[in-house]
Every structure is written in C-alpha cells, then in structure tokens.
Amino acid sequence: MKPPISPELFNYIAISLARFKWQLLAWSAFFFCLFILLQSQIQLNTPNTLVWLAIFILFAAIESLVISAFIFFFQVLPSSRENSLKWQKFHQVIEWCEALLFTILLPLPIILFIYAFVRLALL
C-alpha cells in the first residue's frame, strides 16, 4: 500500500508551484514588515478589529514563508540525482523526514490562527 504522503508527491506539488516561490517569499517579507508597522501602532485602546488584522497578517506571513520553504525543499529531490545506492538511500531518508516535517508545518499557521481566534473569542 502506498502512503498518502511521500517526497515524490511533495516534489510534484512543489514543481507545479515553483513559479510562485519568489513571490511567496516577497509577500512574506512584506507581511512581516506590515505586521511590525501595525504592531508599533497597537495600544490598549486599539480596536479589536485592528489587532486581529495584525495577527492575521502575522500568520499570513508565516504561512507564505512555510509554503515558499516547502517549494525550495521539494523542487528537486537530491535522491533522484544520486548515482550511488548508499547516498541515494541516505537522501531518501532525509527526504522522508522533510516530508513528515512539512506535513506538520504546512497547516500549522492556519491551525494556530484558528486556535487563537477561538480561544480569545471565547474569553
């Protein structure tokens, strides 16, 4: 049985999104700068809408950074370029570790934002 997640699947997804990697990185930098500017304006009497907008911008910056890192990591699989069986197996182990890591990292900023929103909305 083939696992639902694999480095080859992530490689296919990364290749299809490769044209967006620099744009996502630029958006991430822009969102981080925007968050820093908004954070300096937030005080105790700031409306909750602006605070939530700043938090959303922060999580959007983190998410776009994670997606661009995903594209950079999986655009080329080192094991596919290796001729030595020993090194190919070594790279495949690393690729599987990266696949497991990104399986957790990709949805994490969205899940954390939803958790923060639900947690703070109920207070």
The per-residue pLDDT for 95 is: 95
Return the DSSP state at 78: H
Q: What is the pLDDT of residues 68-108, one digit of tens each?
A: 999 999 999 999 998 889 999 999 999 999 999 999 999 99
**Is residue 102 one of the residues assigned to a domain?**
yes
Q: Whole-number mean pLDDT of the chain? A: 92
**Is residue 80 one of the residues assigned to a domain?**
yes
Give whole-number Cα distances, 115 to 98, 105, 111, in Å.
25, 15, 6
Contact 54, 38 (CB under 8 A): yes
Range of the domain at 46: 7-121
Contact 19, 75 (CB under 8 A): no
Residue 123 has pLDDT above 90, yes or no: no
**Is residue 2 one of the residues assigned to a domain?**
no
The closest alpha carbon to 74, from 9, 10, 19, belongs to 10
Q: What is the pLDDT of residues 37-58, one digit of tens each?
A: 998 888 888 888 888 899 999 9
Assign 20 a pLDDT band (cuts: 50, 70, 90): very high
Exposure of 100 in the CB half-sphere (CA atoms within 13 A): 5
Domains identified in the chain, total number? 1
